[in-house]
Amino acid sequence: MTRPAQTAIVTGAGTGVGKAVAAALAKAGWNTVFCGRRQDVLDAAVAESRGAAGRAVAIACDVTDPAAVDALFERTVREFGRVDLLFNNAGRSLKSTPIDEISVEAWNDIVAVNLTGSFLCARAAFRSMRAQKPMGGRIINNGSVSAQAPRPGSAAYTATKHAITGLTKTLSLDGRPFDIACGQVDIGNALTEMAMPMTKGVPQANGTIAAEPVMDVKHVAETVLYMAGLPLAANVPFVTIMATKMPLVGRG
């Protein structure tokens, strides 16, 4: 049986890490669905990928809406026949804030996007991958280095990213009978619009404010592309890609 062309869904693909990864997948020949909240931003991202080896399409979707997520995957299957890869990347953060100053609304918003959104997309991907023929696929979660260590004032964001690690491990285990592999990429200081404050100064564990080294986001895309290109018999369960000199490793 000839295996159909490989198809990827990337959430949060309008900007930043998601855009870089989606573009890299399309360039490498994947049929790639750029998913995000804003159709105009997605359309612009897809336009930049014109001429790529794989087809690129933009589908707006609120990952916190179960019906919208199911519709995203159903449309992808109708368009391309299958789903081989989900890069669970959509996320939201909050400026450094002590926990007693974080509103319940802000907490719920971050949990809804970062954790529930990842769950809903993983659930839909798992359902598709389990049913399709040939069976199987790969889910890659964006854990962030906040899945390993917190920044000051990041209770909501860090809690969701630690939870993503639990989701990754469980998906990796539950996917075994169905040839569904799951891995996680923990990213540190990739230079995107969200990370621009790093270059000017952000709170440190010792109470100071300091600028931090950053890296080109293309290195994240290359890492995800490597993980995605493995045969389903092999998996990278966890990988950290970070600016070499950022203050992650060491005493705070």
pLDDT at 41 over 60: yes
pTM: 0.95
Determine, yes or no, domain membership for 251. Answer: no
What are 46-54's contacts with CB under 8 Å, separation 24+? 48/23, 49/22, 49/23, 52/23, 52/26, 52/27, 53/26, 53/27, 53/28, 53/29, 54/5, 54/25, 54/26, 54/27, 54/28, 54/29, 54/30
pLDDT in tens, 205-243: 988 999 999 999 999 999 999 999 999 999 999 999 999
Determine, yes or no, domain membership for 250. Answer: no
User: Residue 197: which domain range?
Assistant: 7-242
Determine, yes or no, domain membership for 95. Answer: yes
Residue pair 72/78 in contact (Cβ under 8 Å)? The answer is no
Determine, yes or no, domain membership for 214. Answer: yes
Determine, yes or no, domain membership for 247. Answer: no
pLDDT at 3 over 70: no
**CATH at 34:** 3.40.50.720
DSSP alpha helices (H): ranges in 28-133? 39-48, 66-80, 104-110, 117-131
Determine, yes or no, domain membership for 161. Answer: yes
Determine, yes or no, domain membership for 2. Answer: no
| Residues catalogued as catalytic | 157
If one counts the domains in the chain, the total is 1
Report helix, strand or coil for 216.
strand
Q: What value does the mean pLDDT of the chain take?
A: 95
pLDDT in tens, 49-72: 888 888 999 999 999 999 999 999
